[in-house]
Amino acid sequence: MVEKLRQVEGDITIEKEINPEFIREVESSVFSLTDKVNILLTMAGLKPASKVELTSRIWHGDEEERFFTDGDVAKVRQLIENSGMPFESAKEFELTYWYGPKPEVEAYNQEGAVYIIGHTQQDLERLKEAMESKDPVLKGKAFGFPETATEAFCGKKRKKSPKSLPKEVKKSDAWLFHYGPLSESNWKEELVCDQKRAEFIKKVSPRLYKEMTEK
């Protein structure tokens, strides 16, 4: 049996098939829970694009901590290829960051791999352009966040305080699958998007849905 998601865009109904075998592969992969969910949502078309980062190691002087191996990265790449979605990768990335005030703490270094994935080639190109522009609103839209929520994140709209949300909203699947701030003026509509994503994951992967409820 192949799971189907029905999307309605205007008067056009689109059915996107996802092979249950692929879903099981994602469930048992080394991806983080968030990345597993985002990959399935992107494949289904409920997110236009996603970014996956795999940290191989973090080091500082002689101190080093390793995470994903080269074998893990190879398996992840193969899994993304198996999805059939367009993607691009930067073979390695190296970041420098600090714990505490920069003048007082020496830098830690981070190395790994990063992949950007699009539901379609057009979605992938839109994400690349948004990332190159460094415009947070464009990036938010490219990743599938509602424009009003992205504007709230950037300070262009007033944020909705989580404390002011009704109790039933905080207990809802929509809130469980929500990331980032909501806007004061459009928070109900923004959560509709999250509710659709939650319903999809609950349908095609009860395992990931259960993990989301337990995190």
Residue 130 belongs to a domain? no
Cα 88 to Cα 56, 78, 113, distances in angstroms: 18, 13, 11
Nearest to 212 by CA among 181, 173, 184: 173
pLDDT at 178: 93
pLDDT at 90: 64
State the total domains in the chain.
1
Does the pLDDT of residue 99 top 70, yes or no? Answer: no
pLDDT at 191: 95
**List of residues 6+ apart from 132 with CB closer than 8 A:** none
Tens of pLDDT, residues 126-179 = 999 998 898 999 999 999 999 999 999 989 999 999 999 999 999 999 999 998
Backbone phi, then psi, for 90, in 5-degree steps? -105, 120
Residue 186 belongs to a domain? yes
Give the type of residue at 27.
E
Residue 143 belongs to a domain? no
Residue 213 belongs to a domain? yes
pLDDT at 207: 97
Confidence grade of residue 193 (pLDDT, cut at 50, 70, 90): very high
User: Torsion angle, CA of 159/187/35/43, rounded to 10 degrees?
Assistant: -140
Residue 21 belongs to a domain? no
Residue 146 belongs to a domain? no
pLDDT at 83: 93
- pLDDT-above-90 percentage for the chain: 61
Residue 108 belongs to a domain? no
Tens of pLDDT, residues 23-55 = 999 999 999 999 999 999 999 999 999 998 888
How confident is the model over 18-26, as a mean pLDDT?
93
Q: Which domain holds residue 162?
A: 154-215
CA 187 – CA 58 distance, rounded (Å): 38
Residue 188 belongs to a domain? yes
